[in-house]
Chain A
Amino acid sequence: MTEKLNVKKGIPYAVLLLIFLVLPIFLHTSYWIGVLIMVLYKVVGSVSLRTISLSGTLTFAHGTFIALGAYCAGILARNLGLPPVVTIIAGGLFAALVSVITGFPFVRLKGMYYSMASMFLGVTLVYVIKAMKITGGYHGLTRIPKLLQNDIACYYVFLAIAVVLILILFRFEFSRIGTTLRALAQSQDVASSIGVNARFYRLLAVGMGSFCAGVAGAAYGLYSTVLSPTNYDMTFSLWLLMYMLIGGEDYFIGPIIGAIIFVLIPELGRGLSAYAPFLTGACTLIVAYLLPGGLAGIPDLIRKKKEQKAIEASEGRDDRASA
């Protein structure tokens, strides 16, 4: 069943927003502001990845489209001096455009084949970034004009961007478009038989997800002022996938929770960051075995368990009554 919307469902989002609004009051060093911006950046990366996977396709190139947004905005800001509003939107559009053009021949592929094609696409595009001159090549792009001089101001701009992008993706999913994408994921044959143009809708999801990813990448690039192609290799895409899976891909809030927790965990204990891959690996196993719906699925899991107990209890009574 499609995730249902009601006011109660909005509470976690409101709480999260409130926390992110007040956090800089406590964590106002430039180090912590950096961490918080990183959290928001990866939240958007992971949520937009999930939008693409709604239609049943798993992409390994998502990090690359974040890179394309970042590089596009960085180059426009650095070489042409365009203002952030323009470069950030341009970054998103560029990522969307490239994702749709490169996705066109791929989206008909099914399951694992699509994933593999996306993997090669991602690797190739990063290779192109490393080989080109305008991108700063292997050493990266430096001296990008900063988004805003004040870090805390940067943070609030980033928060605003993240909220808008998440609202866009939310609207996208909880509308007939989302229903159509979910239908496609369940059976392409049936979806086609009711008139769904599978390629159009897959590309729509790819384009929408990549646009939001590109915008987040662009904004993050303008904040950090340097881009290194090694930051956008396959592992980056895999991390985003991981946040989504551990957070719970059946839930809109899943990747949000996943990204927040797994970006923050290594920060909580110094020296822990070196163990982040192991910690995440262990968590993945725990989730895979104990929490099939991911972290966001815990409330549903508890409810189901309770219902089951209630049924068992009533059955027990029936047995005694009939005995």
Chain B
Amino acid sequence: MHLLETSGLTKRFGGLTVMNDLDFSMEEGEIKGFLGPNGAGKSTFFNLITGVLTPSSGHIFYAGKEITKSKPHQVAKMGIGRTFQLNPLFGEFTVFENVTAAYHLRPHSTVPQVFFNTKTYRQNEEYIAKSADEVLEFLGLQHVRNELAKNLPHGYQKILGVARALATKPKLLLLDEPLGGMNPEEIAFSIDAISKMRDKGISILVVEHNMQILDILDSVTVISFGQKIFEGTPEGMRQDQTVIDTYFGGAV
């Protein structure tokens, strides 16, 4: 059984076919790249998996269960966490509040538990505060803990997006261009952090244009115009003629 699998996944916007009959799979424990030129349909793929968009046809399975028609909050509940390419944040929340807010499911306090301030709720909140600080520490955000998220520099905002996704305790994490707009130092730090997350047992699917990411990938799927053009290892991808032609425009 694959951790994540799509079969014949197709998405049309009006007459435009953005995702065309895509068969995809990834395994548990894997860190996989989902690459392709701008406009290839990568973000659309993430939106289809997480229920933000509904496929025109085809099926999506996660851990053996069909999630083709699941809603975003249901997908999150099943253990798929994600970041967004354009990286929206809870801008009016502090960095710390952004992360604590993300502990909505694990642990989950029911509305009556919250309202009546029961022991379970208080214990959950205590755990959440502690755990959120650990996440901030792990991602190097501790020193901006009390800043408003909207005031953070771009690179930090990206990392905060990852922190938030991590706080949902995902089994599978979808990262949409996590290194976009980062300086070299931040890139090195983030790549290291991503590979550490994998070491913690989180399976990761990552969309990224920065090829430094290849160093930590187990496998790669490359798409172009919504169709798969390559599937294999990072080394294999570097040497693949189709990939070189369409992706790098023959420049590599």
A195 near B73: Cβ-Cβ < 8 Å: yes
Task: State whether A193 touches B101 (Cβ < 8 A).
Answer: no
Could you jot down 20 A-B contacts, CB within 8 Å? A2-B93, A2-B97, A171-B115, A176-B121, A177-B115, A179-B97, A182-B90, A182-B92, A183-B90, A183-B101, A186-B92, A190-B164, A192-B52, A192-B72, A193-B165, A194-B76, A194-B81, A195-B73, A195-B77, A197-B71
Q: Are A177 and B76 in contact (CB under 8 A)?
A: no
Cβ of A89 within 8 Å of any chain B Cβ, yes or no, is: no
Are B93 and A193 in contact, with the CB atoms below 8 A? no
Residues of B within 8 A of A183 (CB): 90, 93, 101
Q: Closest Cβ of chain A: how far from B62's Cβ, in Å?
A: 15
Say what secondary structure dominates the interface of chain A.
Answer: helix
The CA-CA distance from A194 to B102 in the complex, in Å, is 6
Q: Please, which residue of chain A has its CB at the minimum distance from the CB of B82?
A: A193
Interface residues of A (CB under 8 A from B): 1-2, 171-172, 175-177, 179-180, 182-183, 186-187, 189-190, 192-198, 204
Are A195 and B92 also in contact (CB < 8 A) when A171-B115, A175-B115, A176-B109 are?
no
Complex: A204 Cα to B84 Cα, angstroms: 27
A195–B115 touching, CB < 8 Å? no
Q: How far is the CA of A198 from the CA of B51 in the complex (A)?
A: 14
Mask of B142-166 contacts with A, CB within 8 angstroms, 1/0: 0000001000000000000000110
B73 touches A197 (CB 8 A): yes
B236 contacts A by Cβ under 8 Å: no
**Which residues in A have their C-beta under 8 angstroms from that of B50?**
193
Question: Which of A1, A175, A190, A195 is close to B105, meaning CB atoms less than 8 Å apart?
Answer: A195
For A196, list chain B residues within 8 Å (CB). Answer: 73, 104
A195 close to B93 (CB less than 8 A):
no
Q: Which residues from chain A contact B76 at a C-beta distance below 8 Å?
A: 192-195
Cα distance, A193 to B97, chains bound together (Å)? 16
Q: Per a CB cutoff under 8 Å, which of A171, A179, A186 touches B91? A: A186
Contact between chains at A1 and B102 (CB < 8 Å) = no
Given the complex, which residues of A lie within 8 Å of B111, measured CB to CB? 177, 204
Q: Which of B89, B92, B114, B148 contacts A176 (CB 8 A)?
A: B114
